[in-house]
Amino acid sequence: MVGEITPRQYLDLLAGGATPTLLDVREDWEVKLAPAPVGHVHIPMGRIPERRGELDPARHTVVLCRSGQRSLQVAHYLERAGFSSVANLAGGILAWSRDIDPSIPIY
């Protein structure tokens, strides 16, 4: 089952030593406008099926988009594809900007 994780919970995971994959599924222009502030893998949503092999299905994966809607769809797709642990970043980069880093532009 796909869970949700807040930006703060994601940072707490990292602080605790976890090494999840942060998968950013936004379009190139979105990532340039409002980059994810921590290490991530960028694969636009429409390219996930052809590039899924770049991801480790055994590694915990947290999916990020602008608001949390596209990332939720991708998280469900990855779960159906056999990924063992997938979560949606609740509220997306907008929540990250609001709750963690207001220097990230709102768009």
Model confidence over 4-14: pLDDT tens digits?
Answer: 999 999 999 99
Percent of the chain with pLDDT over 70: 100
In 5-91, which residue ranges form alpha helices assigned H by DSSP? 7-15, 28-33, 48-51, 69-80
CATH superfamily of 3-99: Rhodanese-like domain (3.40.250.10)
Interatomic CA distance for residues 11 and 60, integer angstroms: 14
Residues taking part in catalysis: 65
- Give me the phi and psi of 55, to 5 degrees please: -105, 150
Predicted local distance difference test score (pLDDT) of residue 38: 81
Q: Residue 84 — pLDDT band, cuts 50, 70, 90?
A: very high
Residue range 30-46, pLDDT digits in tens: 999 999 878 899 999 99
Q: Is the pLDDT of residue 19 over 90?
A: yes
- With the C-alpha atoms ordered 64, 68, 69, 73, is the resulting torsion angle positive or negative? positive
pLDDT of residue 62: 98
